[in-house]
Amino acid sequence: MMADFGEGVETFRATAREWLETNFPAGLRTPAGRQAAMGGPDARLWRERVAAQGLGAPTWPKVHGGGGLSPAEARVLAEEMARVGAYNPIGGLGIMSIGPTILELGTEDQRRRHLPAIARGEREWCQGYSEPGAGSDLASLQTRADDKGDHFVVNGQKIWTSVANLADWCFCLVRTDPAAKKHEGISCLLINMRDPGVQTRPIRLINGDSPFCETFFTDVKASRDDVIGPLNGGWTIAKRLLQFERDNISIGLGAGALGSPASPIPVEDYARRYVGLGGDGRLADADLRSRLIAHKMENQAFQLTLARAASEASSNQGPSAATSIMKYAGAKIAQDRAELIVEALGVKGLGLEGEGFEAQELAQVRGWLRSKANSIEGGSSEINLNVVAKRVLGLPDPQTRAPVP
C-alpha cells in the first residue's frame, strides 16, 4: 500500500520508487518483455495493482477512485515510472477526456456513477462528435435528442467514433433545440451503448485495423440525468472536453516518441540494428544520424514544454487553448518518429503482411500508416493552428483584415 502523500515531494519519490520496485512485474521491465507480455498475466496483474491504488487517474480525488496526488506528486510518479519502464495501463477516453470533464463540470451524481469505474478501467467510452456532414464545422451536427420529460429520444449518425463497437458509454453532442442558432442548441449527453437502438459498423483502415466506426442511433432512450452541464450548453462543454483531450493526446504522442507499451523500442535502436554502426561507433548513415538527432532534440524540448504546461495548469484552472499547439507538435513528432523507423528498416519497411518479415517490422509499418491520422484525430492540425492563431495569439481573421495599401 502506498503512503498517504502528505510528507513532501522527495519523500514521496522514495515511496513511489519503493512501491514500483515491489509492484511493477519484472516481466514488463524490458521493451521486448513488455511487448511479449501485453494482454498476459503480468499485464493484468499490473493493471489490477494500479487500479487498486487509483493511479490510473493519479490526480483525481480518492473519493472518485483516483490517487489523490498533487500535480507535483503525479509528475514525480511519472518520472519514477519512466525510470523503470512502467506505464499507466488504464487509459482511453474515460481518463483522457470525459472523466476530467465530469470531474470539473458534472453533477455529484454523475461523478459517483461514472468516475470510479473509469478510474478502475472498468468502463470503456467513445466520443460522439463528428458526423458525415459535420466534421471541422462540428456545430452543424444534426443528431437530435427530442425531450420527452425525464428522458430524451436520440436519432442520428456519428462517424469516426473510436472503439464504438467496444464501448460501454458514449459522450455525445446532440441537437436539443433545432430552432436555436447552431452553436446554442447543442447539449452534451451520455448515452449507454448497450441500448438496442445503437448500431456500430467498424471502418477498416489502410493499416488493417478498425479502431473507428460509424455509429447509428435509432430511438435511443437517454436519461435527462445524463446531460453534462446545462441543457443547450453543450458547445461550451465540448470545447472544454477537447482541451482535456488535446492535452492528453499531446502527452501520449510524446510518450510514443520515447517508447510506449505498444511501441516500446526507441527509434535509435532500429537505426543501430538495421543501418549499422561505422568504424567510429556512430551510425553509418550520416544524414539519417543528423535527422535522428534533430528528432530527439525536438522531442526533448517537447517533453520539457509539456512539463512546464502541466506546472502552469496546476496553478490555474487546467489546460488552456495553448494545448492545441502541443497536440499539433506531438502529432508532428510522432509522425516523424514513424517515418524515421520505416526509413531505418530499409527493405524490411516494405512489408504489410506475409512471410519474410518479423512481427515487430510489420507492426512498425502498420504504425507508420496509422500515424497519418495523428494530424487529423482530436482536431486536425489545420484547426489546431487556427485555434492558436485566434485564441492564443489573437490574430485577426484574414477575411476581415484590412487590405495592405
Q: Catalytic site residues?
A: 245
Q: How far apart are CA 225 and CA 151, in angstroms?
A: 8
Q: Which H or E run includes 216?
A: strand 212-223
- Burial label for 403, CB within 10 Å (0-12, 13-18, 19+), is exposed
What is the chain's length? 405
Where are the alpha helices (H) located in 173-285, listed in sequence order? 234-258, 267-274
Could you tell me which residues are beta bridge partners of residue 189?
172, 227
80 Cβ contact list (under 8 Å, min separation 6): 13, 16, 17, 20, 86
Secondary structure of 129-196 as H, E, C letters: CCECCECCCHHHCCCEEEECCCEEEEEEEECCCCCCCCCCEEEEEEECCCCCCCCCCEEEEEEECCCC
Q: How far apart are CA 56 and CA 203, in angstroms?
A: 29
Q: How far apart are CA 318 and CA 243, in angstroms?
A: 9
- Which of 350, 375, 346 lies closest to 365 in space, CA to CA? 350
Q: How far apart are CA 206 and CA 373, in angstroms?
A: 11
| CB atoms inside a 10 Å sphere around CB 278 | 12
Sign of CA dihedral 336, 130, 321, 56: negative
Cell of 15: 515511496
Q: Which H or E run includes 103?
A: helix 99-105
Q: Does residue 268 contact residue 292 with C-beta atoms inside 8 Å?
A: yes
